[in-house]
Amino acid sequence: MQKGGRPYTEALLADIPVADPTIKKKHADIPVPAPTLKKKHILLKGDIPSPTQIPPGCRFHTRCIYRFDPCDKIVPRTTDLGGGHFVDCHLRG
């Protein structure tokens, strides 16, 4: 899961906090949560698709930062990326 196949997966993975092992506690007897660092945040804009009114084409095209012409018209085919990973995306497939 290092690199997401779909842009939505890429955005989710970019928002996972990463612990910073270089920060030390000032007082060992006081439990202080270690700060976390985040990878580059990907802001998803646009409308969240309705589960009852699924948009034509790719289901995620209304919020995809990589959207291009066929995304809102044609349902992407499933592509095997190997290692048990599959993607339904015009860009990645």
Model pLDDT for residues 6-35, shown as the tens digit of each residue: 777 888 777 777 676 565 544 445 454 555
Over residues 31-54, the mean pLDDT reads 71
DSSP state string for 65-88: TT--GGGGTSPPPEEEEETTEEEE
Q: 2 pLDDT band (50/70/90 cuts)?
A: very low
Structure tokens at 67: 């959207």
**pLDDT bracket for residue 85 (50, 70, 90):** confident
Percent residues over pLDDT 90 in the chain: 23
SS3 category, 37? strand
CB-based contact 54:75 (threshold 8 Å): no
